[in-house]
Amino acid sequence: MATLAILLVIITAIPNLAPGNPARKVAGGTASPEVLAQVTEDLGLNDSILVQLGKTAQSVLTLDFGTSPAGQPVSEILWSSLGNSAKLVILSLILIVPLSILGGLIAAYKKDSLLDRVIVNVGVAFSAVPDFVAGVFLLAFLAVPYDFFKTQASAPGEGPLVQLQHLLLPAIAVLAVYFGYLARITRAGTINALEADYTRTAFMRGLSTRDVFRNHVARNALQPTVAVLGTQLGYLFGGMVALEKVFNYPGVGKMILDAVEGANYPALRAGVLTVAIIYMLATLAADLLVAYMNPRVRQSLGDN
């Protein structure tokens, strides 16, 4: 909650801090003084900081984000961008989650074998590469030669399967970037669980490997993965701005980018706050999930 408050402060501060006159940017270089004054008023820049803060907070609570300088209601832009990003995120997750977790589990189980090293190193290599670089490569070597892969990620008006097809390449790019990190976390968590005393106790009691894995290892091993997924989910929503540019996809990242370039402060505020809120919700959900998996965490959460 406090984080949200701090963010609000930052968001409100930005137009005030920007060098040059934001109102002029919005109104255009040739606007007359009267128009300029009007725009300044509209942007709320004449009010004191506290009032601006209050107005921003109010807009968040009422979900009324005002209108952009061009006249379009911000909420419209926001919701459509959000929806687009959500589609990409969901598809990406469907690819990432099973593959990374499986990869991590296998790497841990066959620790130090060739397979383990391959998984880890490939993961590391790919995760180093920026999302748009992966996107450009995919564009050049899959989209252009093969008709199946589309060069644009958006396909407005088409049915869900077609939309999916268009989203395939960007989702693969996301997978390439995130696989390594998640697989590594899973691997580390699994190794910890495998080497724990309670796993040893289970073996000593005569349980089969399969049972040990199922009953004891899984729930403990995946806790860090779940926690990390929460944070990464938050980043997926706004952080793919470069990828969106490559595939010309109107997601939240692109929205914020456009807002910045067009000095569209209402949209900018809305976009950034939304991303922050999604991040917080995602981490909260992850924390709850971890608490479900770990009764000790449950207890300390309950104390707070």
Partner 1 sequence: MSDVPGARGAIPQPVSGGAAAAAPVPAVASDGGKAGRNQIRREQRRVLFTSPAFVVGCLIVGFWVLAAIAPGLLTSAGEKEFVEAGNNSRPFGETWLGTDSTGWDVYARIIYGARPILIVAPIATALAIVVGTLLGLIMGYYRGWVDEVLSRVLEAILSIPVILMAILVVTTFGKSTPIIVGTIALLFVPAITRTIRSAAISESDLDYVTSAKMRGENGLYIVSREILPNVVGLVVVELTVRLGYAVFTYATLAFLGFIGGSVTDADWGVDVAQQFNQIVNDRWWSSIFPATAIATLVIGVNLIADSIDKALKS
Partner 2 sequence: MTTIEEPAAPSQTAALSIDGLEMSYIVRGTPRKVLRGVTFDVRPGEAYGLVGESGCGKSTTAYAALRYLPSNGVIDAGTVTSGGEELTSMSARQLREFRAKRASMVFQDPVQAVNPVLKIGRQVAEAFVVMGQSKKEAEKSALHALERVRIAAPRSVMERYPHQLSGGMLQRVVIAMGLACDPTLLVLDEPTTGLDATVEAEVLDLVRDLRSELNSAILLIAHNLGVIRTMCDRVGVMYAGRVVEEGSVDEVFDNPSHPYTKGLLNSIPRHGLRKTDRQLFAIPGTAPQIGADLPTCVYIDRCPISTDVCRTEVPPIVQRSDGHWTRCHHEDRIADVPEPDESAIKYDVGTEQIIGVNGVSKTFRQRGHDVPALVGVDFGFAEGETLGLVGESGSGKSTLAKTMLGVHAADEGGTITLRGRVMADKATARREESVRALSMIFQNPDSALNRAWTVRRILERSVVKLTGVKGAAADKRVEEIAAAMQLTPRHLDMRPRQLSGGLKQRVAIARAFAGNPEVVVCDEPTSALDVSVQAAILNLLAQLQNDERTSYMFISHDIGVVRYLADRIAVMYLGRIMEIGSTASMFEGTNHPYTEALLSAVPSVDGIAEDRIPLTGSIPSPANPPSGCVFHTRCHRAIAGLCEVTEPEIRELSPGHSIKCHLTVEQLNEPFEIAPDADLATPVDDPTP
Closer by beta carbon to partner 2, 46 or else 201: 201
Distances (CA, A) of 174 to 138, 216, 251: 11, 32, 14
Member of 104, 123, 238, 251 binding partner 1 (CB under 8 A): 238
Is there binding between residue 181 and partner 1 (CB under 8 A)? no
Member of 235, 287, 289, 291 binding partner 1 (CB under 8 A): 235
Binding region for partner 2 (CB under 8 A): 196-198, 200-208, 215-216, 219-220, 293-296, 299-300, 303
Closest CA to 42 of 297, 237, 263, 215: 263
Across the strands, what pairs with 73? 67
Member of 86, 136, 218, 297 binding partner 1 (CB under 8 A): 136
User: Count residues contacting partner 1 (CB under 8 A)?
Assistant: 46
Closer by beta carbon to partner 1, 213 or else 279: 279
Q: Tell me the closest approach of the beta carbon of residue 4 to partner 2, in angstroms.
A: 24
Is there binding between residue 155 and partner 1 (CB under 8 A)? no
Member of 39, 77, 227, 246 binding partner 1 (CB under 8 A): 246
Is there binding between residue 83 and partner 1 (CB under 8 A)? no
Q: Tell me the closest approach of the beta carbon of residue 166 to partner 1, in angstroms.
A: 15
> 96 touches which of partner 1, partner 2, none (CB within 5 to 8 A by kind)?
none
Listed ranges 43-51, 202-210, 253-261, 287-295: which one lies at the site for partner 1 (CB under 8 A):
253-261
> 270 touches which of partner 1, partner 2, none (CB within 5 to 8 A by kind)?
none
The 3-class secondary structure across the chain, one letter per residue, is CHHHHHHHHHHHHHHHHCCCCHHHHHHCCCCCHHHHHHHHHHCCCCCCHHHHHHHHHHHHHHCCCCECCCCCEHHHHHHHHHHHHHHHHHHHHHHHHHHHHHHHHHHHHCCCCHHHHHHHHHHHHHHHCCHHHHHHHHHHHHHCCCCCCCCCCCCCCCCHHHHHHHHHHHHHHHHHHHHHHHHHHHHHHHHHHHCCHHHHHHHHCCCCHHHHHHHHHHHHHCHHHHHHHHHHHHHHHHCCHHHHHHCCCCCHHHHHHHHHHCCCHHHHHHHHHHHHHHHHHHHHHHHHHHHHHCHHHHHHHHHC
Member of 174, 183, 221, 272 binding partner 1 (CB under 8 A): 272
> 140 touches which of partner 2, partner 1, none (CB within 5 to 8 A by kind)?
partner 1
Is there binding between residue 14 and partner 1 (CB under 8 A)? yes
Residues that bind partner 1 (CB under 8 A): 2-4, 6-7, 10, 14, 17-19, 124-125, 128-133, 136-137, 139-141, 143-144, 151, 234-235, 237-239, 241-242, 245-246, 253, 256-257, 260-261, 268, 272, 275-276, 279-280
